[in-house]
Structures are given as C-alpha cells and as structure tokens.
Chains A and B, each alone.
Chain A
Amino acid sequence: MRAAQGGDSRAYAALLTEITPVLRRVVRRRWGGSGSADAEDVVQDVLISLHSVRHTYDPARPFMPWLMAIVSFRLKDAGRKAARRSVHERSEWSLEHGLPDAAAEPAPESPGDSEELRRAIASLPDGQRRAIELMKLEEHSLKEAAAVTGMSVGALKVAVHRGLKTLRAVLAGGKHDRNR
C-alpha cells in the first residue's frame, strides 16, 4: 500500500488482486442482501472507496483494520441501498394494496421496456454510457465515478446530462414509432 500511495501501479494492482478474494469472503459472510451479484457490487464499491481514500492510510499502522473499516461502511451503505430498492420494488399485489383492478384503465405512463432502455443505453457514446452506468445505475458519487473513469467532475456532469437527454429522445422516438 505504501508503494501504491507513491504511484506504483504494478504494486497497487498486485495489492488489489490479492485482497479481492479476502473482500469477497468477508462481504459474502456479512452481506444480508440477495445474490452473489449484489455482493460482488459491494466488493467493487469497497475497491473504489479504497482508491478514493488511499491517502488516509498510515503505513505505520496495520493495513487490515483500515481496510475492514471501509468494508464495514460500504456494507452499511449497501444495506441501506438494498432496503430502499426493496421498498421501490414492492409488489402491487399485497394486503395493503389489494388485487389489481382488471377493468381499470391502463396507467397513462407504462413503466417502460427494460430491454429497450438497455439497448438505448448501449447505443450512447462511450463517455455518456459510462457516466450513466456509474452514476444512475450503480449509484456512485461524482467523485467515485471520476476516480474510475479519469474524467473530471464537470465533464461527468455534462456527460450525464447529455446522456439523459439522448435517452429521452431515443425512447420518445421509439414510443412514437410504436404508436404509429
């Protein structure tokens, strides 16, 4: 880690590769969320956080407590995110909401076609696509996304703005075509 703080990318890659299996074990053991894909997301969040705060590591102190503190904070964040997501994904068929009314008019706004959205995102220019994926799908902060992509915070904001504008236009165009 000392070498990584000095800018030695080879030592840094070796360190991250070496700690990743340890992180996977710890995260999977302590992760209350569903699925190994979610646990792998937490592992990636830990790696990004480690990168963002690597200047806070003091080589005079042991490395593992420093790393595990980051893991703990990331697990708490992931728990909060999962809880938020489960609220948003609540089924409409529940005791609180009753059964859906089959005779009712369909909702004016359909939730959208996820496959179409995926295709639209994939069709974006590289910079915009990466910015949308990191900030809107993976919910990383501007600084984290900047650390991963190497783009400036300003450039990321512009890329997200343009990306969303393009997506809106593409999806509206698709809907318009279907309605014709």
Chain B
Amino acid sequence: MTGTDDLIRRLAERAVPVRRLRPPLMRAALWLAVVVPALLGVALVMGPRVDLAGHLAEPSALLTLGAGLVTAFCAAAAALALGIPGLSPGWALLPLPPMLVWLAGFGRQCVLEWLGLVEGSRLGLPHPECLPDIVVMTAVPTVVMVMMVRRGAWLRPRLALAMGGLAVAALTNSALGLIHPDDAGLLVLLVQFAVLASLAAVLGRTPPIRSIP
C-alpha cells in the first residue's frame, strides 16, 4: 500500500486553505443578487415598457411573473445542489411546481391569444431588433451560472447545467416581460430552451473519469 501512503503524503502536502462552498439556497440567492442588478442595468438602457403599471395590475401577469422568478430561484438552487456530493438528486424536482405554474400562465395567455379572446404578441414572431436585447439578457446570467456550477463537483453535469438553463430562461423571460414593449413570445422561450439545453449537452459531455474536477 506504499503507493496509497505516498499519495496521502503528497495530498497532505498540498492542503492549501480552500474557500468553502456556501449552501445551495444561499448561492442561488447570490446568483440572483449578481444577475438581477445586471439585468436592471440592461433594462435602464433599454427603458421599461410603456404600459408597465397596467401590466403589473393584471393578476394573471403578476402570478406568471412571480412563478417565473420562483422557478428561476428554485432551478438555480437545484443546479448548484447537484454539484454537492451526498445531496439528493431529488433537488432536481424542486423547480417543478413553480415551473408548472409559470408555464401554465404563459400557456394560458397563448391559448387566449390563439382563440382571439385577448390581444397580445406571444404567438407572433420576435422583432429582429429585439434579438440583441434577448442575447445580452440571456448571456449575463448564463455565464455566471456556468461559472457557479463549475465550482461544484462535476457529478451530474448535464442535469446541473439543464437546471441552470431553466433558471436562466425563467429569469430572463420574466425580466423581458417587464422591460420589453411586448411580452416575450413563445418562440423566444422555445429558442432559449433549445440553446440552453444544447449548451448543457455540450458542456456536460466531459468523460465520466473527469466527472470530479
């Protein structure tokens, strides 16, 4: 067992102090604390939607917005918890209830628009001039989330990054609804999901032997 004894000696020699990871819920709050001011900064540059007060007075819009933000927080916490050895993979179920409420509110609005009962822009194609706003607003939380997920152990990378992608999509879609002249459309959400899922699949492709950094 000399090899193992030698390894223990070498590892102990390299026992430099490490910065301990905070609990996942606290790190999710930290992610929001970093990302929300950045999104607000972008919002200030773009300017809030003109009918913001009226939009927030609608109970269904408020419920969808609240559920979107709770989904973002819970999905971020799940993404960060999945990188802690010993924590249950059941954390991935945490964002499920708020996500259902969020998507139900979004879907309800789409159905009402499709039936012609309300006017809106969720089923329409996004305006090309909105693309840079969407890219900037998605990029900032994505980069911060990937950095935070990579600080944890690379145990279930695809699931963790998929959860992080859900958090980003929920947050940016809710934020876009507040600052954009029109509601963020269904197509924007679907494209966001597709892009973030692809990102999770590519970044999480690390071979199993390298699963722990």
| Inter-chain contacts of A61 with B (CB < 8 A) | 86
Q: From B210, which residue of chain A is reached at the shortest CB distance?
A: A141
A12–B211 alpha-carbon span in the complex (Å): 23
Chain A residues 60 to 104 lying within 8 A of chain B, measured CB to CB, are: 61, 65-70, 73-74, 76-77, 80-81
B209 touches A73 (CB 8 A): no
Which of B1-9, B33-41, B63-71, B95-103 is the contact stretch?
A: B1-9
Chain B: interface residue count, which band?
20 to 34
Complex Cα distance, B17 from A144, in Å, reads: 17
- B189 interfacial contact with A, CB 8 Å: no
Docked Cα-Cα span, A140 to B7, in Å, equals: 14
Are A5 and B212 in touch, CB under 8 angstroms? no
Let me know if B208 and A55 touch, CB within 8 A: no
**Which residues of A lie under 8 Å from residue B127 when comparing CB positions?**
none
In the complex, identify which listed stretch (B18-26, B115-123, B175-183, B190-198) lies at the interface while the others stay far away.
B18-26
Q: Which residues on B sit within 8 Å (CB–CB) of A13?
A: 8-9, 12, 15
**B23 and A17 form a contact (CB under 8 A):** no
A49 within 8 A of B: yes
Say yes or no: A48 contacts B83, CB within 8 Å: no
Check: A8 CB closer than 8 A to any chain B CB.
Answer: yes
Assess the B11–A139 pair: CB atoms within 8 A: no
- A123 CB-CB contact with B under 8 Å: no
How far, in angstroms, from A12 to B8 measured CA to CA in the complex? 9
Residues of B within 8 A of A43 (CB): 4
Q: State the majority secondary structure of interface residues on B.
A: loop
- B210:A55 contact, CB within 8 angstroms: no
The chain B residue sitting closest to A20, CB to CB, is B4
Bound together, the chains give a CA A144 to CA B211 distance in angstroms of: 11
Give bound CA distance, A48 to B7, whole Å.
Answer: 8
- Return 29 A-B CB contacts under 8 Å, by A number: A6-B17, A10-B12, A12-B15, A13-B8, A40-B1, A40-B3, A47-B7, A47-B8, A48-B11, A49-B153, A51-B14, A53-B152, A55-B19, A55-B20, A55-B21, A58-B23, A59-B20, A65-B86, A66-B84, A67-B85, A69-B85, A70-B212, A73-B155, A73-B212, A81-B209, A139-B209, A141-B213, A143-B210, A148-B10
Not counting A47-B7, A77-B211, a sample of 11 additional A-B residue pairs whose C-beta atoms are within 8 angstroms of each other reads A5-B18, A10-B12, A13-B9, A40-B1, A52-B212, A53-B213, A55-B20, A66-B86, A69-B155, A141-B209, A148-B11
| Chain B residues proximal to chain A, CB less than 8 Å | 1, 3-4, 7-21, 23, 83-87, 151-153, 155, 208-213
